[in-house]
Chain A
Amino acid sequence: MNEKIPEELISAYIDGELTSDEQVRVEQALLEDPHSQQLLEDLQALHDRLQAIPRSEPSQDYTQQILRRAERAILTGPSTASGEEATTAVRPANPGVQANQPTNLKHLIWASTALAATLMLALLFRSEDRSVYQVSDAGNEQETTTPPTSAVPELESNSAETDDLEGEEESAEMAGGAFAPLAHADADAEGLPGNGLARPAKARRMGVRASFGAQADPAADGPSTNQEGATTQDTVIYINISQEDFEQQAVLRTLVKQQVAFNYDPMASADLATQDTLSLESVAAADLRPVEAKTVQQPQDKKAEEKSEAKDEAVSVARRRKRDGSYRVITLEATAEKLDKLLQDLSDHHQVQRTPRGKADLLRKENPKAADKSGSTPGLTTNLSEKRGRKPVQQPGGKSKDKADKNQTAKRADEKQNEARKPTATKLLFQQEGQALKASRVRIVLVVQASSGSTQTVSDQADTPASPAKKPKSPK
């Protein structure tokens, strides 16, 4: 018997979407029913027609447009309208997993940016590159820094070191992706300030600059940070840091974590260590511009000046005895609020002392006894690690036990005085200066503790006269 089948089955037959029973039925009908046969032929012809529709290509730069938009969407969030559309669009297919996705991915991006920056810091610190690298996040493309142009030809003239440098730049770029070499400063020809010795041929300059999001770019306002000595407006933070923590870039990691823009040029800092005697204040105020930009002072004058500083300023530190010991200076700009947060974080792990220099000097003039009684670093107003009830970092070696006890006693007295100045002297000082919302320049002086033997501390009464007979080792 000739059985009429639904035409829908013929359509599905072309697509191979029939059950075995349906297929048997259709094939039987096709054998017996000319109408079904004709329909099958027509639908097959239609299928061929549709398949023959010419294919088009999107615009040539279409892929790049998409990627640019996607990156922008990640950084800024999709536009309101399109965001609503997207949420509406995806929800029916996969409900319940949409709510936190943009935030999650943003966090992922931030985390990977921070991780990349940290990895780069690790790379740069372990190398002896003299390049100055710029660390920037993806959303801060406009950041520019003018390198000391005179340095570039000097580097180019030294082919051996240039080759070496290129290799390191390449690895840095591979690791971080967002790093660009900024400047090459060869200081070989320069005399070292303070000792009159020629800079060792292999002396190299390395620096790190990090900027995050909408943070003020330290380089944007000219030589505001890391380019000149601290002014009386600068806040100076002293951090006693162990050799181990220093090698692990503990402070820099904290800065990265807190997304604080900073400049760091360890070779410029290392210049400081070539001098016999230094006070913390002179370290903090040191000119950190590239050597080429400095006016090189006569060695005798420099020594005389240092001696004078050591006398006038009550606090000085032990002479550097280990090349990697001594000081490193990080410069940055931060608002009072940001700085307070940073200091709290730092003081959780290190012994931290700070002073807004100008204000501290003022305080000392107004109440010289209070300042003198503290016996601490001139201008010291707050010792955050102590204020937060943390035990100060033990100073291995260095002074005798009696001296250390005296230091502790003096610190306790200082702590009591600081307690009286609560709440948060740092904030009050900034507010008094009307700088609560304004980014101010900050210098972080890392006082690196030698791993054994000699020790340098931010001791309240530390004052180890320099021994002129002992010459420091030259940096490599």
Chain B
Amino acid sequence: MRDDAQLISDTLAGNTEAFGALVLKYQGRLFNTFLQVTRSREEAEDVLQEAFVQAFVKLDSFRGNSAFYTWLYRIAFNLSISRKRKKKPEASVDQQREVAGTEPIDLGELPEDRLLREERADQLHRAMTALHDEHRAVLTLREMEGFCYETIGEILDLPAGTVRSRLHRARMQLHEQLKAILHENSS
């Protein structure tokens, strides 16, 4: 499988299929992350689509100083902020369920256990939605993407110290809201 640098080079040489390979490689990962960031499946798809288009158009400006995915993520993230400034989406219950995704059904699971699990998932997503955007972004980048503080700071244009403190505040807020679940789980 060709690496990112090769795919980028091929794309710049006019091979659109190479860019298609890049899209295929990263769309799933980006989509899940932006599902958490935007809290809307539709919005996440729109943001990513726009981000990929912009990345394609501006690909010759990519200097390779960072990973392609980081560069792409930064474009998508800035687009999502820009879009959010223009409109304030209202998160509906259906949207929350969309964001939560569909967990595989355990056929051996008792109905009450399933209800309980779904209730916990809803709580988690409500807690995530209640986070401030900048806290949720940092938390998503760390927990979903596994980026180090330095990369998160690069994407969000923040010092690593700020990333650490925001991440801690986000976790503590979630901790407060989900204390019951967490203790229940740990006990």
Contact = CB atoms under 8 A, between A and B. Distances in A.
The reply to whether chain A is a binding partner of chain B is: yes
Chain A interface size, under 10 / 10 to 19 / 20 to 34 / 35 or more: 35 or more
A184 B8 CA distance: 38
Given A46-B174, A66-B49, A66-B53, A57 B31 contact: yes
Contact of A92 (B57, B78, B165): B78
B168 A12 contact: yes
A56 B35 CA distance: 9
B58 interface: yes
Given A58-B48, A67-B16, A7 B182 contact: no
Contacts of B104: 54
A93 B168 contact: no
Main secondary structure of the interface of A (DSSP, over half): helix
Contacts of B83: 85
Interface in A87-113: 88-90, 92-94, 97-98, 101-102, 104-105, 108-109, 112
A89 B61 CA distance: 14
A50 B143 contact: yes
Contact of B20 (A45, A63, A86, A102): A63
Contacts of B50: 82, 85-86
B171 A70 contact: no
Contact of B27 (A8, A47, A62, A69): A62
Contacts of B114: none
Main secondary structure of the interface of B (DSSP, over half): helix
A70 B57 contact: yes
Nearest to A116: B14
Contacts, number: 175
A71 interface: yes
A452 interface: no
B148 interface: yes
Contact of A104 (B60, B102, B144, B157): B60
A50 B144 contact: yes
Contacts of B175: 39, 42-43, 46
Contact of A78 (B53, B124, B139): B53
Contacts of A105: 12, 57-60
Contacts of A45: 182, 185-186
Interface string B53-67: 110111111010000
Given A50-B143, A104-B60, A57 B178 contact: no
Chain B interface size, under 10 / 10 to 19 / 20 to 34 / 35 or more: 35 or more
Contacts of B139: 50
Contacts of A109: 14
A89 B54 contact: yes
A17 interface: yes
Contacts of A67: 16, 19-20, 23
Contacts of A8: 164-165, 168
Given A41-B186, A70-B57, A101-B61, A63 B24 contact: yes
Interface string A44-79: 011101110111111100110111011101100010
Given A54-B100, A67-B20, A74 B57 contact: yes
B28 interface: yes
Nearest to B36: A53
A3 interface: no
A15 interface: yes
Contacts of A97: 61, 63
Contacts of B27: 58, 62-63, 66
B37 interface: no
A69 B74 contact: no
Contacts of B19: 67, 70
Given A43-B171, A55-B32, A56-B41, A90 B182 contact: no
Interface of B: 12-14, 16, 19-20, 23-24, 27-28, 31-32, 35-36, 41, 44-45, 48-50, 52-54, 56-61, 63, 71, 74-75, 78-79, 81-83, 98, 100-104, 121, 124, 139, 142-144, 148-149, 157, 160, 164-165, 167-168, 171-172, 174-175, 178-179, 181-183, 185-186
Nearest 9 Cβ contacts at the A-B interface = A89-B78, A54-B101, A70-B56, A112-B14, A11-B168, A50-B143, A86-B54, A8-B168, A56-B101
Given A93-B74, A105-B59, 4 more contacts: A7-B168, A11-B168, A73-B57, A102-B57
8 contacts: A7-B172, A43-B171, A55-B32, A58-B28, A63-B27, A66-B27, A89-B78, A101-B60
